[in-house]
Amino acid sequence: MILFDVKCAKGHVFEAWFRDSGTADRQMAGRKLACPECGNTKTAKAPMAPRIGKSGEKPAAAPAEMAAMSVKIRKELGELRAKVEANCDYVGNKFAEEARKIHYGESGPRGIYGETSKDEARDLAEEGVEFARIPWLPRHDS
């Protein structure tokens, strides 16, 4: 896995994980990557500073800092879930089947979400079907 900073045509910068650099290039060239801020699919790799590790151990984050990061991540995952649910079709446990139909042109291109097993996800990846696994957080009504 590799992490890139990505910039959309409207100037929004965000991070995205890819299997490798080639996958990143294909997704961006094929406009399969959308900006989480505005939905723009015209994206390119943004300049980014290299991550150079220092020798020795990295100090652990303070508990308050960890709590703040957890709140931020949970909020962002909730926002992502809302965008996916608003803009994609729910296909339930038929995700792998529907993803293949779209990949092989048996069904029109559209955003879908649903459930699949680890084995099915591995098979999809081996076939070159592009998808992402998102950790869904439980809903809280309180």
Mean pLDDT by 10 residues, the chain (142 residues): 89 89 91 89 83 62 77 89 94 96 95 93 93 82 48
What pLDDT is recorded for position 2?
A: 86
The amino acid at residue 114 is G
What pLDDT is recorded for position 142?
A: 46
Distance of CA 19 to the CA centre of its chain: 11
pLDDT tens by residue, 72-83: 888 898 899 999
Strand 89-92 versus strand 2-8 pairing type: unpaired
The amino acid at residue 82 is A
- pLDDT-above-90 percentage for the chain: 51
Q: Can you read off the two tokens belonging to residue 77? A: 């995952």
